[in-house]
Structure 1
Amino acid sequence: MHAPRTTHLQAVKRILRYLKGSPGRGILMKKNGNTNIIGYSDADWAGCTVDRKSTTGYCTFVGGNLVTWKNKKQNVIAGSSAEAAIHIAANPVFHERTKHIEADCHFVREKVQSNIIRTAFIRSNKQLADVFTKGLSLAQFESLLSKLGSINILAPA
């Protein structure tokens, strides 16, 4: 907002065209008979062409239903990605280079070691958080929207 560029205006216009073309789009919530919690996270490493900052995105499902999602441009230039966070959380060896990580990472590490939380690498074609961090082809975008539970209630059945 403090230094808008032509690329920002183009992005806003693209978003508005998408919203205009999909007025019936929503998220379908289903009763799935479970309360499993599954989360996806991803970051595009230095993906912003203006300042080389990364965008982080995540989504969380409870019982197979999307309940939270977010994407955010990071305040700093990231030197790693979600893969590195998975490695740090799963690796029980304390490294000199990880001293700056706050208590929440150590909390997650304990949960990973006690098998309460499992972390896994997800290939890009199945990584639901990609919809929040990357420019995708239309086919990939629509595929991920479907997997997020998004439907168009105005589409013919």
Structure 2
Amino acid sequence: MLGCKPIDTPMEQNHRLAYAEGEPFSQPDQYRRLVGRLVYLSVTRPELSYFVHTLARFLSNRQVQHWDAAIRVLLCIKGSPGQGILLRPMKDMCLTAFCDSDWAACPLTRCSLSSYKVFLGRSPVSWKTKKQPIVSRSSAEAEYHAMAVTTCELKWLKSLLSSLGILHPKPMKLYCDSQSALHIAKNPVFHDRTKHIEAGCHFVRDELVNGNLATAYVPTGHQLADILMKALGKRQFGFLLNKLGIRDLHAPT
């Protein structure tokens, strides 16, 4: 692939890889090796998390279309070989997180997809893209599950910083683009429609009451976790990529 022409986005928007049919890929070992290498690459390039997550779902049942999608990821990597995380020197060691979910994202199981991105100061330190283990009955429920998982990650990072002698007295900020989920987190009254997620509600609300967490709304267009959850267009992908703290060392200054 050294002589290939690079492209701007790793995957087509509104792809239908879950419905791929036709000729099975004849070299399954080659497909597994490529996806395995992309998994290691996503440790320093979080923008590839969603695409690696999608390709890894078809390790046991890969089609030619899946191989072509994996090659497209390589074409995008070819355009920015020196890209990675930039860890900046910082005085403010504040933890900030962005979380999001894609309701009923899996067309086969209708499980939702959760993603989060955690920053220490202005540097990204933790991120994740994962399919939720249950089927959510509303988009607000899916968003709230994403908030609960992100809260667990924030608490763990705070305890890790404390063991290193770094105190974090300020509330950790959690940004979400769902007004419904934010209202559920702040509303002390449970209704019939929220009883099935009552345990998660109590978990997040306890952190809010104790002053360990502060939630805030972020518009969908500025939701940084969006890049970890779906295939975006060229313009939005580039916009969020610049906000993630990702830089290309080979780019002209």
Q: TM-score range by the shorter chain?
A: 0.7 to 0.9
Please report the TM-score for the alignment, with normalisation by the length of structure 1: 0.84
Summarize the alignment of residues 43-122 of structure 1 with structure 2, pairs less than 5 Å apart: 43-79=101-137, 80=139, 81-82=142-143, 83=178, 84-101=180-197, 105-122=201-218
Percent of aligned positions with the same letter in both sequences? 43
Q: Which residue of 2 aligns with 1:33?
A: 91
CA–CA distance in structure 2, aligned partners of residues 146 and 133 of structure 1:
17
CA–CA distance in structure 2, aligned partners of residues 12 and 125 of structure 1:
27
RMSD: 2.3
* Contact preservation (8 Å) 2:190, 2:198: no
Structure 2 unaligned blocks of 5 or more = 1-58, 144-177
Partner of residue 227 from structure 2, selected from 123, 131, 136: 131
| Deviation, structure 1 residue 104 | 5.7
Please report the TM-score for the alignment, with normalisation by the length of structure 2: 0.55
* Contact preservation (8 Å) 1:53, 1:77: yes
Change (3 A) 1:104 1:52: closer
| Deviation, structure 1 residue 51 | 4.0
CA–CA distance in structure 2, aligned partners of residues 130 and 149 of structure 1:
15
Bigger CA drift: 137-146 or 14-23? 14-23
Residue identity in the other structure for 2:220: S
Q: Which residue of 2 aligns with 1:24?
A: 82
Q: Which residue of 1 aligns with 2:34?
A: none
Partner of residue 240 from structure 2, selected from 120, 139, 144: 144
CA–CA distance in structure 1, aligned partners of residues 62 and 112 of structure 2:
18
Instruction: Please state if 1:14 is matched with 2:72.
Output: yes
CA–CA distance in structure 2, aligned partners of residues 51 and 104 of structure 1:
22
Change (3 A) 1:7 1:47: farther
Deviation by residue 1:103-152 (Cα, 9 ceiling, x = unmatched)? 56423202223443121221111100000112211121111111110000
Residue identity in the other structure for 1:77: V
Instruction: Give 4+ residue runs of structure 1 displaced > 6 Å after superposition.
Output: none
Structure 1 unaligned blocks of 5 or more = none
